[in-house]
């Protein structure tokens, strides 16, 4: 039996679990079209309203997505990003067996604004690198990063270097030790720039992450504001009491 009508679990929830299970087992693959509400309502012998309720929940949770006029499809699996461990985008993607790359949109040395100067603990107008990069995994845009880095600390950055791993340059070439970071995560909806650069629909969910990273000696060296595709990412943390 696919669902148990006598179970205390609501029927829509059982149907939701059934569809999730088929996705997890790979019987329904990313990009596959989902059977219609009518087919499911015949299969489970329940109303189309109940099926719609289950499907709506799965759309909201990012397992499925709708395309106007063509139906409901199985979404790509979300990346699970651990919230412990201070890693770089390059390391994160490589650990998943994906090829990281960056598209550099902007790179300039500017005088630090009062806000950037305060966070980086430098005097106002001290030179800082300002850059914007699209971060891609296997050529798919994952995040948009705007970054401010102390130019007097992280010396010699070039367009070529920041098109690859900045952390690697800092550690291997400059022999500076990256120590810790504080991060704030907020939810948001894609604005026009994010829509265009991340190739997502206007109003898609976005996870905004602001990171301030410190060397082991306690000196802050970067402020990064990233917009991550919330349809492709989920963040996981391990809590211990
Ligand atoms: C990650 C960091 C970012 C850092 C970058 C370095 C988050 C939210 N952000 O994207 O702060 O600048 O890695 O990556 O994790 P890279 O060494 O590949 O240039």
pLDDT given for residue 62 in this prediction: 84
For ligand 1, the distance from its centroid to the CA atom of residue 240, given in whole angstroms, is 26
84 Cα–ligand 1 center, Å: 14
What gap in Å lies between CA 36 and CA 19, rounded to an integer? 12
Our answer on whether the CB atom of 209 is closer than 6 Å to any ligand 1 atom is yes
Interval 180-200: pLDDT, tens: 999 999 999 999 999 999 998
Ligand 1 centroid to 65 CA: how many Å? 29
Q: Which atom of ligand 1 is nearest to the CA of 170?
A: 17
Query: Three-state SS for 206?
Result: strand
pLDDT value at 1 more than 70: no
- The answer to whether residues 13 and 19 touch, using CB atoms and an 8 Å cutoff, is no
Model pTM? 0.82
CA distances to 20, 109, 110, 162, 224 from 133, in Å: 34, 15, 17, 9, 11
Q: Which residue blocks in the chain are alpha helix, DSSP H?
A: 11-24, 37-44, 48-60, 89-95, 114-120, 159-162, 166-168, 192-197
Residue nearest to atom 6 of ligand 1 (CA): 88
Q: CA-CA distance, 190 to 183, in Å (whole number)?
A: 20
From the centroid of its chain, how far is CA 187? 11
Q: Atom of ligand 1 at shortest distance to CA of 183?
A: 8
The secondary structure of 161-178 as a DSSP string is HHTS-HHHIIIIIS-PPE
CB of 226 shorter than 6 A to ligand 1: yes
CA of 118 to the centre of ligand 1 (A): 21
95: CA distance to ligand 1 center in Å? Answer: 14
Say yes or no to pLDDT of 64 above 70.
yes
142-162 tens-digit pLDDT: 999 999 999 999 999 999 999
- Mean per-residue pLDDT for 6-31? 93
44 lines ligand 1 (CB under 6 A): no
Is residue 90 lining ligand 1, measured as CB closer than 6 Å? Answer: yes
Q: Does residue 132 line the site of ligand 1, with CB under 6 A?
A: no
- Bridge partners of 101? 136
Q: Give the model's pLDDT for residue 46.
A: 93
**Residues 6+ away with beta carbon under 8 Å from 7:** 14
Q: What's the farthest any 2 CA atoms get from each other in the chain?
A: 69
**Per-residue pLDDT reduced to its tens digit, 207-238:** 999 999 999 999 999 999 999 999 888 888 88
Cβ of 58 below 6 Å from ligand 1 = no
Q: Is the CB of 122 under 6 A from ligand 1?
A: no
175: left (phi over 0), alpha (psi -120 to 50) or beta: left
Closest C-alpha residue for ligand 1 atom 8: 209
- For ligand 1, say whether the CB of 89 is within 6 Å of any of its atoms: yes
Closest CA to 37 of 75, 2, 71: 71
Burial class of 147 by CB neighbour count within 10 A (0 to 12, 13 to 18, 19+): buried
Contact 228, 143 (CB under 8 A): yes
Residue 77: predicted pLDDT? 84
Is pLDDT of 80 > 90? no
């Amino acid at each position: 039996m696919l669902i148990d009508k006598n179970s205390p679990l609501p029927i829509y929830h059982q149907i939701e679990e059934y569809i999730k299970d088929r996705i997890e087992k790979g019987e329904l693959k990313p990009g596959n079209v989902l059977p219609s509400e009518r087919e499911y309502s015949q299969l489970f012998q329940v109303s189309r309203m109940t099926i719609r309720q289950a499907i709506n929940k799965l759309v909201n949770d990012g397992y499925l997505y709708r395309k106007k006029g063509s139906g409901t499809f199985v979404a790509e699996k979300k990346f699970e990003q651990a919230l412990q461990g201070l890693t770089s985008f390059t390391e994160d993607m490589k650990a998943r067996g994906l090829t990281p790359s960056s598209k550099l949109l902007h790179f300039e040395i500017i005088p630090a604004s009062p806000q950037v100067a305060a966070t980086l603990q430098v005097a106002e107008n001290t030179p800082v690198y300002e850059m914007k990069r699209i971060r891609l995994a296997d050529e798919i845009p994952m995040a948009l990063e705007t970054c401010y880095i102390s130019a007097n600390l992280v010396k010699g950055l070039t367009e070529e270097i920041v098109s690859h791993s900045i952390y690697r340059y800092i550690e291997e070439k400059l022999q500076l030790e990256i120590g810790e970071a504080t991060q704030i995560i907020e939810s948001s909806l894609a604005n026009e720039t994010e829509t265009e650069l991340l190739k997502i629909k206007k109003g898609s969910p976005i996870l905004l992450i602001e990171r301030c990273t410190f060397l082991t000696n306690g000196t802050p060296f970067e402020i990064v504001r990233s917009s991550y595709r919330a349809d492709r990412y989920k963040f996981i943390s391990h809590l211990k009491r």
